[in-house]
Chains A and B, each alone.
Chain A
Amino acid sequence: MALFARQIQSLRGPAALATQQVRLASTEVSFHTKPCKLHKLDSGPATSVTLNKEDALKYYRDMQVIRRMESAAGNLYKEKKIRGFCHLYSGQEACAVGMKAAMTDGDAVITAYRCHGWTWLLGATVTEVLAELTGRMAGNVHGKGGSMHMYTKNFYGGNGIVGAQQPLGAGVALAMKYREQKNVCITLYGDGAANQGQLFEATNMAKLWDLPVLFVCENNGFGMGTAVERSSASTEYYTRGDYVPGIWVDGMDILAVREATKWAKEYCDSGKGPLMMEMATYRYHGHSMSDPGTSYRTRDEIQEVRKTRDPITGFKDRIITSSLATEEELKAIDKEVRKEVDEALKIATTDGVLPPEALYVDLYHNTEAQAVRGATIDETIVQPYKTSADLLKAIGRA
């Protein structure tokens, strides 16, 4: 709680700074962002960033889609149409959208289970995300993975086990380096996962071999219900890489995130090795839908962040004040987004579920259909379909 009081205080200061802008051209505006804190770096990302109208509208739309989609998911969960585990990203939109804005073709991302927003940003449709949550055929993984396991090209998921994605990210980066790609692997994890041994191992390998991996800690202040001070001997997560340089970024400011990620990407692309980033962000919902999120923090605190630091309203204020966008344009976007999510909801709640044979597709890569033991009492069954794709084709849903 004290940490948040401090964070909020320190942000009120430069709020004045943040609204300073300079009109460079009729559709491009320059803003100031909060400076990044640096670890073992002499210089860091610029604090003066430019934004054009096209990007402004796109970033606004992207963040709104994620916000709406997560809201819809929350409601579906309350209606028991989604079961199991569902971790919402609301409040953290600036991190994903900002980082995506700095990514180039071929960059990869891997994250933990707060992944719905990332999945959509990296190529899935809202329908695919929501239908995966409800376990239907139209889902991103056709209902086989659920909330925590969604994938797209160059997006390695969606991981349920905390920290498991950290060494994986380093491995993807190795492949990129081997193939001489000018790309990075953005490896995301939370403040809770920052204490997993795997991160230490992955960081060491990444620095030893100069791998182009960005270890990004999305620090939303809580690992489930445990505040960062109570789980971590050091809460300066951007310094935890020790011998790996690090940047602390205001994760509620999409422009700061974009700028920092651009800078970090240049750093990695130039062969200097890994970088650790910490996005100071906040989640409005509890850890998951099973957690009301109010037993370890006050409703006042959550309201305070919504009022003063919300990434979407903060961005909205900026682009309206600087005349990059009008209230009407943004309202039109809101309406469009609502429509898109509503249509997705329709499919997500009405589509069918994969037939029982899906239980044993996608087990192995094999040229012969695999015998699956125990399908009946002592009979083995040979897989009628080896992959979800084959099964979908057979039932006419290819």
Chain B
Amino acid sequence: MSSSRALSLLSRNGSRLSSTRGKAHFTFQPSTTLPAALQSMEKSKMNLMQSVNEAMRIAMETDDSAVLFGEDVAFGGVFRCSLDLQKKFGKDRVFNTPLCEQGIAGFGIGVAAAGATAIAEIQFGDYIFPAYDQLVNEAAKFRYRSGNQFNCGKLTVRTTWGAVGHGALYHSQSPEANFTHTPGLKLVVPRGPIQAKGLLLSCIRDPNPCIFFEPKILYRLASEDVPTGDYTIPLGQAETVRAGKDLTLVAWGTQVHVALEAAQMAKEKLSVDVEVIDLQTIQPWDEDHVVESVQKTGRLIVTHEAPISSGFGAEVASTVQKRCFLNLECPIERVAGYDTPFPHVHEPFYLPTVHRVFDAIKKSVNY
């Protein structure tokens, strides 16, 4: 029996299909506030690709042992993130690997274990699976199984992430939940250029193996004034991007911008004040920050592009229900991708767009 509600939601998304084909399903919202330390720094307009480039440049300038490798990074990379880095740092520090993700990950673990800072690029997050064994069984467990005698903390894996509008099955996936089930790894997803630069530098300098997921749709689309100096944003800290008192909306990466749009819509149409939190670090995630917010608002929605079942939203929901049980005014909602492979032409129906998030907000406040 099909749900007419489902179909009406789907067709509402669908009627936007013809008019928005080719446009992103969200508008990038630049950060309006900066941490105190960064406010006085000189700034320059940069997009995500440039801020990632900056972070790597600074990392390699300040750490002689840092090397960058991956498919096509030498000429600048397929998204231009490593532009001019080989020119600046030389072929022995920035070099191409053949097409072998498992090899890249394993090789990176070795480089890191031997004491050099390894920045390994996996061109698309969808291709990270041949490397999955190396990352889960080797990188995550090296320190543990050697009683701290060895570790590959100097490894940072950078990979692209998320829907891009036309990526279909194998250029759109958000694989973070495949790794959150693995203790030993740190996982980070930035929402924009300012965060990307600071978070990537933190990952590179963090003495634990990190996977840094770069939302590919934001590479050129997200542009803002980014501090030009050497700065880091701490890992394991979430950020409240929009304050509110009625409902907590948690997201990361591209979805933060969808959340912000939904929050604005909720304010205008429902007079509901939504607090939007960007987790930034998915593992370890800032539980206290989210819990404090839900204790204030009494309502929680988590939203992500990845399929709903066992998406990271499940972990957040479960933890919050335990810690905030008596604070909750309504059930915790998750607005996520459907439990299907990422589709080809049906992408606009699949994505958790602003309409679906708004619908969840409406349902939560009316519970």
Contacts and interface: CB of A to CB of B under 8 A. Distances in A.
Interface of A: 80, 83-85, 135, 143-146, 148-149, 160-163, 192-193, 195-198, 223-226, 230-232, 295-296, 353-354, 356-360, 363, 372-379, 381-382, 384
Contacts of A356: 7, 10-11, 14, 346, 349
Contact-residue bracket for chain B: 35 or more
B87 interface: no
A197 B350 CA distance: 33
Contacts of B170: 148, 160-161
B5 A376 contact: yes
B343 A382 contact: no
Given A356-B10, A377-B356, A84 B166 contact: yes
5 contacts: A195-B100, A195-B103, A197-B130, A376-B359, A377-B360
A162 to B, nearest CB: 6
Contacts of A149: 169, 344
Given A376-B9, A377-B359, A384 B167 contact: no
Interface in B213-235: none
A157 B346 CA distance: 21
A149 B343 CA distance: 12
B336 A226 contact: no
Contact of A354 (B7, B307, B345): B345
Contacts of A381: 2-3, 6
A147 B251 CA distance: 32
Given A353-B345, A356-B10, A382-B2, 19 more contacts: A84-B167, A84-B344, A135-B344, A144-B345, A146-B344, A148-B170, A161-B129, A192-B99, A195-B98, A195-B99, A225-B75, A359-B338, A372-B340, A375-B6, A377-B360, A377-B363, A378-B333, A381-B3, A381-B6
Nearest to A160: B170
B349 A359 contact: yes
B308 interface: yes
B96 A378 contact: no
Contacts of A296: 75
Nearest to B307: A374
Contacts of B37: none
A373 B308 contact: yes
B295 interface: no
Contact of A379 (B6, B11, B129, B340): B6
B102 interface: yes
B339 A378 contact: no
B100 A373 contact: no
B324 interface: no
Contacts of B360: 377
A226 B71 CA distance: 9
Task: Please indicate which of the listed interface residues B167, B308, B309, B346 has the most CB atoms of chain A within 10 Å of its own CB.
Answer: B346
A161 B169 CA distance: 10
B133 to A, nearest CB: 11
Contact of A377 (B309, B333, B338, B346): B333
B340 A363 contact: yes
Interface in B1-50: 1-3, 5-7, 9-11, 14, 22
B171 interface: yes
